[in-house]
């Protein structure tokens, strides 16, 4: 660990909060990669992170067993980050 990269985890979503049973983000396999669709909120380090671990449904019909963690790199086509929110707690 060199500290050269910052990591964030993207779990919570609008309307679902941190209730992972309600996650709507999906990821479908397309060749050797995944196409990820969804919106996340309140991601600590989100605007600073080089790598984001995203919770998404890869097999919606499998319920909780169809959830996956995908690693998304900064600068990937289609990735957009929002503004910094003024929240209480640790300042990332």
pTM over 0.95: no
Q: Higher model confidence: residue 58 or residue 80?
A: 58
Query: Where are the extended beta strands (E) located within 1-92?
Result: 7-10, 26-30, 33-37, 51-57, 67-73
The ranges assigned to domains in the chain are 7-73
Q: Which fold has domain 7-73?
A: Butyryl-CoA Dehydrogenase, subunit A; domain 2 (2.40.110)
**Tens-digit pLDDT profile for residues 1-37:** 787 888 989 988 988 877 888 899 999 999 999 999 9
């Amino acid at each position: 660990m060199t500290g050269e990269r910052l990591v964030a985890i993207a779990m919570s979503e609008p309307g679902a909060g941190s209730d992972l049973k309600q996650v709507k983000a999906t990821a479908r396999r397309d060749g050797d990669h995944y196409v990820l669709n969804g919106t996340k909120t309140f991601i600590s380090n989100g605007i600073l992170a080089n790598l984001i671990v995203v919770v998404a449904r890869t097999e919606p019909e499998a319920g909780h067993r169809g959830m996956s963690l995908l690693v998304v790199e900064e600068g990937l086509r289609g990735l957009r980050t929002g503004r910094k929110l003024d929240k209480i707690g640790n300042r990332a």
